[in-house]
Structure 1
Amino acid sequence: MTLQLAIVGSGPAGYYTAEAAQKLNGGDVRIDIIDRLPTPFGLIRAGVAPDHQSIKAVSRRYEKTALSDNVRFVGNVPVGDGGISVDELLGLYDAVVLATGAPTDRPLGIPGEDLPGVLGSAAFVGWYNGHPDFVDLAPPLGSDAVVVIGNGNVAIDCARILAKLPEEFEGADIVQHAVDALGTSQVKLIRIVGRRGPHQVSFTPKEVGEMGELARASPVVDPAAFPPVEEDEALEPGLRKVVATLRAFAATAPDPDKPVRVYFDYFLRPVEVLGEGRVEALRLERTRLVEGRAEGTGEMIDIPCGMVVSCIGYRTLPISGVPYDDRGGRFVNQDGRIAPGLYCVGWARRGPTGTIGTNRPDGFAIADLIASDITPSDKAGRTGLDALAAEKGIDIVTFREWQKIDAAEVARARGGAPREKFVVVDDMMTAARS
């Protein structure tokens, strides 16, 4: 009997799980990959930096899976409130896997974080990547100073996008509304702040190196932030390269012909966003390392700024009827099992950790769990889903129809760009039905 499998979420975790289920079950599986948007690929499309096209090329692997005879992309289908419930899916499929990622920002948890001008990285990244949820974000780029909170690649991506000239986006799929806004930006000072020091950053060498190649911006690092150079030898190789690049920045005077400065500020913990009706400054407490942890010293400093971008982590969105770990920002699960027939994978399972490739072994592990737990039955699977969607007035988008959206985006690309994304769902649907 054929296993009927539904995967909710069409990002890397979802497609790797589908690939694994195919390899494990051969032709004895039918897989529906369900997404609330008409477009597949999740964070590959809307989360990866638009000027890092080589990373986005992994979508070709997912496309191969999507075009298999026993896999179907089911776009424009919300799961949860206002759409199809998880219980309804469990009634139609032998197993349901939640691969919904972690699309919302973890809160800062400090006073003033609700002031206009405080943005989470999911929102800011979604804005310049053309995610329909964030098209109206309107970041306040009229200020001359921005603070980016966090010491990972997302933080450095946000800082780099803010620092670039429009012509530096040639070959990138950044959306036009972001290019236009960034082209008139008044930002001249960008501060990337972290609670700990250069030895504790989560940057990768490529991202840090790019900060030294910007046309109008110079990186600035205080030499006093570093421990003795001899301690670099104990670092793992990738981090050692990162620290070597940061040390080089610290030893080089900023280019006087470049008007923008990007400061890497260490040993600072945000405690309050200040302002009347909008962001005017960020109050931070100086920290020190105690057994590898950041400990407050009680000394406060205020950094004037008109915008704060928080890059401190993400959370999975809760779904009605699914146990949720509010503290961890993910579904309650035991090694990927949530309840009989219900599983989670990727960031929805373990929280927002690891790289895109980390999701592949995760997907294969969940496919193994399903194979050991589930005996295929005579559930309706995709025919049942189609009937239920029609009953609820949900207009399904298939992968072939996504390819029409894709072709239309490529056709409307500005010079040098791979595509110009649609940022409104109705426009996507018009292209899908063309």
Structure 2
Amino acid sequence: MDASAASVSALRAAHERFVISSSGPAQGVRPLVADSWARCTACGVRPDGGTLPPLRQTSGDLASYRRGHPLAGAMPLLRDLLGTGAADDGHVFAVGDTDGTLLWVEGDSEALRRAERMRFVEGARWSERLAGTNAPGTALELGRAVQIVAGEHYSAAVHNWSCAAAPVRDLRTGRLLGVLDLSGGASIATPPALAAVRAAALAVEAELARTPGGALPAPDAVRLLALGRDSALLDDAGRVRRLSPRHSEIVVALALEGRGVTGDRLAVGLSEQEIPPSTLRAELTRLRAVLGPDLLGSRPYALLRPVRTDYDEVAGLLSEGRVDEALARYPGPLLPRSEAPLVEEHRRSLEQQLRGAVLAGGSVGSLRRWVASEWGIDDVSAWAVLARTLPAGSPQRAAAAARALDLRGAVVPQARGHAAVLQRCRS
């Protein structure tokens, strides 16, 4: 359905009347929307937009879950069918699970930033009962393609958006696999947008039906090693590339972002000094020559295949409470010489998580490895915890306690850690 300015205004007025009345059926909207609003009211969804959809999974959990999802292998096809238009026309496309969790959200970088404000992001639950009337959630509820325009959304936070969505099924069993969605402005409130998302769903279903087991093979992940080294290693199916320090920063920054970014946003993550756009474009052109166009995309800049990183592996082990394994996988700080703000922020965060876990619940072996490392040798708290953990009367306990006292006497800042290492590296 097309949405003129008059119809958009009428829909918002109908929504306002429904909210104020707080009883009785909705007036002035399609039956599909009225029924959905009634379901949302029964579920206790707030129509004022004051509650945003919840996040179901952390980034680490989501990445692992996506790799095994039946629609993971369809992403190259979907990027071809929906992604190019999204980047060009200023909207986003999303792929969701059967419970409305958004697994992939890609497209125009400015639209992605606006979508973040209403938590239309990867990992968020956009089922009807949690987010109100919306195309992906309502399509899953009804089991068919739907289009929701402006004020038809139950939550006022989404009234500036229009969306079209279609479910995806396994044609052999009828099992629901997920949902495809297009979200944006006036261009999405049109029949062609609904036709496009329907066609994409049909194309995916047809591809899955031709594939043994009903799942397309997911794109092979590349492995990125950037801990304890200034030149990252990128392993692509056994082909290992050693990246320059600058290219290492760019690839790490793109991997941390997890989706496409504009040149302006990438520049802010790479330097506190202003980077001329021409300089950044030239650097990315050189990087694309190294990686190939199948791995590095533009408009927006993005890594086009899944990336497994050593720093995410360490963080994942920590989240599971496997402290000793996390420390064993940690050869040093992330790109230790890098002064890129995004890299520095993640480097500090990972160090704090690891150090905190070692001090709070690590074994004696982990504590010993920590204080023996270049970044933990002056950590007064770690030495003190080690002294308390070792058996009474142990010579090692006495030595650890003496080291802690020496450090306190020398007024060494507590938990100097990586800062000391980085200072030595830069001197």
Note whether the superposition's TM-score is higher than 0.5.
no
More helix by share: 2
Q: TM-score range by the shorter chain?
A: under 0.3
Q: TM-score by structure 1 length? A: 0.20
Which structure has more relative contact order (CA 8 Å, sep 6+)? It is: 1
More strand by share: 1
Which is greater in Rg?
Answer: 2
Q: TM-score by structure 2 length? A: 0.21
